[in-house]
Amino acid sequence: MDLARFPRRRYTHAPTPIELLPHFTKALAASCPGGVGPEIWIKRDDLLGLFPGGNKTRKLEFLAADALAQGADTLITCGAPQSNHCRITLSAAVKEGLKCRFVIEERVPGSYKKEAGGNNFMFELMGVEAITVVPGGSDMGAAMSKVAQEVASLGRKGYIIPGGGSNAIGGLGYVACVQEMQQQWYDMGLAFDAVVVGSGSSGTHGGMAAGFFGNSIKIPLIGIGVSRDPADQEPLVYKEAQAVADLLGIGKVPREAVKSFGGYWQPKYSVPNAKMVEAVQMLARTEGILLDPVYTGKIMAGLIGLARQGHFKPNAKVLFMHTGGLPSLHVYEDVVLGRTALND
């Protein structure tokens, strides 16, 4: 697949590491059938550029380049309170000398607080131009279009980036990631049995599904839902994967290429649960690697749950995609340290 024909900015100057997690693997095995679990590896996309990095960085390499090619001077995007995507979009805007505006959706009523720490602090520190807050369930496309009209009334040109950077152009970032990983696997002499990735706005999961298809990678790509169960999530991911495939001209992605698991994100998107807390504590205390409560903590909880159910063969090599999200961890300190009681 030729990505060179698409405009691209470069925010990361080397492949992100793939590392074995030996202590985490041992701790997980103790709770797996027969005391033997999968061998867990990690792809450190939390170390991408646009500090502190995360999966949105890869998407923004293509999205910001497209915005610049169209002559835009303002990036407009949306997300929930503590949105990693909004923070990294703002970082890209600053790096490119652009303005940036957000539409924040309060999926949990009253959850947006300008003075909160984490990403909200970074929004203000990096100089977001304006934030519009709307109730949960709002038409985010319409809300961003309204912001774009306001920008146009000032004689400027806005560029709308969907939530999570999840469209065909953004998905190219994770096609590039798949190509990067495939080269790393070859160089490291690794053969994985499965890859586990978060499945939310669908851009990362969908982009990887298109990349797996286009690069003839046959191992399972397992999505862990962070906001929906499979019946609702998989059609969105498949639509994204096919949109990326259409942009690349690589044909029809098989429907069976998109697989996800639910049950680890409840009670609601961004609301903590006990399995997430266990996952965050476990990786921090065995490997010194931090996960976030909204995405990667619940994704790792899914991997742990599947391993304990015997989903992976003993000693299977499983690669976990760490998609970042560190700043929001600091907003949930009492939760992740067990000071706040939670139900499973």
What is the signed CA dihedral for 117, 120, 121, 125, rounded to 10 degrees? 180
Do the Cβ atoms of 314 and 283 come closer than 8 Å?
A: no
The DSSP element (H or E) to which 75 belongs, if any, is strand 74-79
Q: How many CA atoms lie within 13 A of 215 on its CB side?
A: 20
Which candidate, 167, 196, 197, 219, places its Cα nearest to that of 55? 197
Q: How many CA atoms lie within 13 A of 187 on its CB side?
A: 9
Distance CA 298, CA 279 (A): 7
Bridging pattern class, strands 221-225 and 194-199: parallel
Q: Which of 83, 201, 260, 328 is catalytic?
A: 83
From residue 330, alpha-carbon distances to 24, 224, 290 in Å are: 22, 23, 11
Bridge partners, residue 75, by sequence: 100, 159
153 is catalytic: no
Do the Cβ atoms of 294 and 172 come closer than 8 Å?
A: no
| Six token digits for residue 11 | 């925010």
Apex CA 166: angle with CA 83 and CA 172, to 5°?
125
Q: Residue 125 phi/psi, 5° resolution?
A: -60, -40
18 torsion bin: left (phi>0), alpha (psi -120 to 50), beta (else): beta
Distance CA 167, CA 204 (A): 10
From residue 102, alpha-carbon distances to 71, 81, 113, 152, 289 in Å are: 19, 10, 14, 15, 30
Give the residue numbers marked as catalytic.
83
